[in-house]
Each structure stands twice: as structure tokens, then as C-alpha cells.
Amino acid sequence: MMMTPRDLIDGSSTLWNDGRVFLLLIGSALPIWLFDRFRWNNRIGIDQINLILLQVLSILTYNHFRSNKPNSQQSTLQARSRPDQSKLTHEPIDDERLRMTATTTTGQQDESDQLKTLINDSRNGTKIFPTKGLTIVKHRSFDSIYSVRVEFDEDEVSLEQLVRCITERRRWEWDRMCDCGEDLGDGVSWVRLKGFWPIKPKELVVQSQIVRLASSEPSIRILASSHSVSHPRKKATLEVKFAGYLIEKYPSSSTLGVTQIVDLSGFGGLPDFVVKAILTKFIPSSLNKFKVLAQGIEPSPAPSKGERPIWLPRLNSESSEKEQVQMNPKVKVSEDDDDQKPLVLEQLQRVLKDLKGHEKRLKQQRLNVETGAVTLRKSDSSSRRKFLGLIVFLVGILVGFKVNRIFRIRNKRIKMLERLYGNGNTEKLLRFLLL
């Protein structure tokens, strides 16, 4: 009869188990052999045989109980192949949660409002590092957020040139702290920051937008904000919660105010001299280069009367209304907003994709937890079996040596009796043994 591979595997495992029993048996008898060699006694008496039998009995008992235990490896494989589906249930995703996730992911309204609040709070913050031509303010609530404000003369650069420089050029072209970058599309860009002691070179992926803030005063306030996002093609080593530029134009003034918001929380604890160098040297130098790049942009033709210039961003409130229209089909959609439909639909598709990816990650995490628990139980049971085997081995040796000691004491007494009564006085010895 031809043997199958399975029979060969089972036979090899049986031989391996028998070999382990044989090794344990030799290990149990080895102390007795050394003890006999030490005493120059080459005979194997009944006490040594008794000890060996006790060791064999303990090993067989241990293997018997060990063979009756379930195979932990098999249970681990079963747990990996058939996870408990009842534990992989997820709460339903309602429309409100989807709306909140979409708003947080796209960042069209939430990031602008939060950055606007930061800018308004920064004006009431603490002024630090007095520098000519600069207004540096530390946020009153967040120690790692700063604002640096400069003023440009309208005769040197116009509002249109500054706005178009942000939308048409790339930040790493004027920012002194940026080494290089790449446009990933949909307002997402990858930027590599320069390293200088004690800051290492870092990489970040940000999503940017530019809106016009509503104001009760007859002024123009344009906000270009950025925040960190994840991207499958690029890996980020730095996270930026809030960053951006605020460009302000007031009718009563001939200057343009440019405020840059900086978030240094991703760099950890920085010494004061490093923070001062960033706020008083790197950022002002970047803003001056930003102005030089903006001056090279040719002005666009003047729009018709009553029309909004092409370069001027929409109001932030208008962007909010468009999002509400897309989220609520009952709201009427104007013809001017038709060009925004594909963008919003694409954003919603990305949100749904992110939610599915999050659900898949939750399933994998739960499966890893269950697999880890089974593996932990396997290691615990294996440790308990090893400990039990060691205890049985030691108890057998102790019992064997105890029996060996009893037999040695008996032999000593017999020899003593032979010396006392055995020298030609066999009658007294027999009388003593029979009494």
C-alpha cells in the first residue's frame, strides 16, 4: 500500500514525539548515572530501577494529558480563516454623519471659519519680537500659532496681483522654508520643507482653498487657507492644522495688509531663538519674495460693469450655500452653480471612499485583535504545559532520590548487622532477624 504525504507527515510527527519521550527518559536517568559514577558504584540496584520507573511513569502521564489537549495552532488557523462575523458589525452611517464627514474632509467651510476665528483672535493676542515693519502676534489660546503681518503699498503691487500669485503660482516658489513641491490636483499639493537645526527636513500634504470673507465694512478680505490631508501617493511626516494668508484692502488706506498664519505645533518644542528666526527672518523674506513674484503678473482686462472680476474669489457664504444645495436636493440650484456640481460630487465620492476604507481598517483591526487573543492563549497554554512538565520532572527526581536514600539507609543497617552478628555467630543473627 502506497503511503500518502499526509501519512508521511503523521509518521514523522509520531517519530518526533517518540524521540522527545526518549530524550526525556535519558535526561531523567542521567542524574542517577552521575550519582552512581560519583560513588564509584557501577551496579544498578533496585533503588535506581525504582527511580527510572518513576521517571517513565511521570513522562507517560505527562504525554497522556498533553495529547488530550486541543491543538492551539489548529484553533489559530481556524480563527484566521473564519472570523466571527457577529463581532464585525458596524453602526449605520446616517446622512448627518455623512454631511459632517464631508464637511470635515473637504474643508470648504469649516477650515475657513476656524482660520478666520484664529485670525480674529490673534489680533487680541500677545505681540512678541518687536520688529520694524512687522507685527508679530502670538495666539492667546494656542501657544504654537503665530501671525506675521506686513503692509505693501498699492503703488508697488495690486490686490489682483497678490491674489493671482496665490492661485497661479506655487507656494514653494516664494516660501523660504520650502525646498520643493508637487501639485497633486484638486487643490492638494505635496511640499518638502528645508531642515535646519534643530528641525529635520519634513514633508506634508495640504489641501488649499481661497475665499473672500464677508465683512460689514466696505473692505475686501481674501483668505487662502491650507490644512493637512492624506494622499495615497505621498507620505507626510508633518501635520499642519491651520495655515494660510489673509490679504486685506481698506478704502481709507493706500496699503494692502498681508498676514501669514503659522502653525508650529508639528515641530514639537522649539527654542525661542528658533521661533524668533522663523518669525522675524524666514517669513518676512518669504513675503518679500511673494511680493516680487506678484509684481511680475500682468493685470487682467477690466470686467464689465456689474460683473465680478474673474480673479476675485467668491464670498465664503456663497460657498456655504452651494454645499447646502448639494447636501439637500430640495434646495433649488441656480444655473451659475452648475459648474460646481462635478467638483462637489467628486468630493462626496472621495468621502464615501474614505468611509469604506475606514470600515475595512476597522475589520482588519478587529481581526488582528481576535488573532492576537488566540495566539496569546496558545502561548499561555504552551507555557503552562512546559511548566507542568518541569514540575513533574522535578517531582519525579525528588521522589526517586528519596527512595534511593531509603534503600541506602537499609543497606547500611544490613551491613552493620553483618559486622555485629555475622562473624561466626550466625545463630544470633538469625535470632535477631526473626524476632
Sketch out the chain's domains with CATH numbers.
5-82+372-434 (no CATH), 96-299+309-332 (3.30.530.20)
Q: Is the pLDDT of residue 63 over 60?
A: yes
327-357 b/e with 16+ CB inside 10 Å = b?
eeeeeeeeeeeeebeeebeebbeebeeebee
- The CA distance from 58 to 108, in Å, is 74
Sign of CA pseudo-dihedral 321, 306, 167, 113:
negative
- The CA distance from 140 to 120, in Å, is 11
State percent of the chain over pLDDT 90. 14
| Kind plus residue range of the DSSP H or E element containing 138 | strand 135-138
Q: Is the pLDDT of residue 89 over 50?
A: no
Say if CB 128 and CB 137 are below 8 A apart: yes
- Sequence-ordered list of residues with C-beta below 8 angstroms from that of 259, at least 6 positions apart, any chain: 119, 147, 148, 149, 245, 246, 248
Q: Can you read off the three cell numbers belonging to residue 75?
A: 484553533
Which whole number is the average pLDDT over 52-71? 63
Higher pLDDT, 49 or 237: 237
Q: Is the pLDDT of residue 44 over 90?
A: no
Tell me what percent of the chain is helix, strand and coil, each rounded to the nearest 5: 55, 15, 30
Closest by alpha carbon to 143, among 240, 285, 270, 278?
A: 270
Q: How far is CA 135 from CA 258, 286, 305, 385, 421, in A?
A: 11, 15, 37, 72, 118
In this prediction, residue 46 carries a pLDDT of 53
Name the pLDDT band for 435 (thresholds 50, 70, 90).
low
Name the pLDDT band for 427 (thresholds 50, 70, 90).
low
Q: Is the pLDDT of residue 231 over 50?
A: yes
Which whole number is the average pLDDT over 22-40? 59
Q: What is the DSSP letter of 305?
A: T
Residue type, 282: F
- Sequence-ordered list of residues with C-beta below 8 angstroms from that of 251, at least 6 positions apart, any chain: 218, 219
In this prediction, residue 117 carries a pLDDT of 59
Sign of CA pseudo-dihedral 12, 13, 14, 18:
positive
Q: Can you read off the three cell numbers belonging to residue 366?
A: 478587529
Q: Can you read off the three cell numbers belonging to residue 282?
A: 524666514
User: Which stretch of 6-10, 31-35, 161-165 has the lowest confidence by average pLDDT?
Assistant: 6-10
In this prediction, residue 413 carries a pLDDT of 74
Mean pLDDT of the chain: 71
User: Which stretch of 233-247, 248-262, 368-382, 416-430 has the lowest confidence by average pLDDT?
Assistant: 416-430
Sign of CA pseudo-dihedral 325, 331, 334, 339:
positive
Q: Can you read off the three cell numbers belonging to residue 304?
A: 464689465
Closest by alpha carbon to 246, among 223, 262, 216?
A: 223
In this prediction, residue 34 carries a pLDDT of 57
In this prediction, residue 198 carries a pLDDT of 73
Q: Is the pLDDT of residue 119 over 90?
A: no
| Kind plus residue range of the DSSP H or E element containing 212 | strand 202-213
In this prediction, residue 140 carries a pLDDT of 82
- Sequence-ordered list of residues with C-beta below 8 angstroms from that of 280, at least 6 positions apart, any chain: 129, 131, 134, 136
In this prediction, residue 116 carries a pLDDT of 57
Q: What string of DSSP letters covers 62-123? A: HHHHHHTSPPHHHHHHHHHHS--GGG-------HHHHHHHHHHHH-SSHHHHHHHHHHHHHH
In this prediction, residue 389 carries a pLDDT of 74
Higher pLDDT, 120 or 332: 120
Higher pLDDT, 326 or 416: 416
Say if CB 148 and CB 176 are below 8 A apart: no
Which whole number is the average pLDDT over 235-241? 86
In this prediction, residue 1 carries a pLDDT of 45
Backbone angles phi, psi at 367, to 5 degrees: -65, -40
Say if CB 117 and CB 145 are below 8 A apart: no
SS3 call for 189: strand
In this prediction, residue 301 carries a pLDDT of 82
- The CA distance from 243 to 70, in Å, is 59
Q: Is the pLDDT of residue 258 over 70?
A: yes
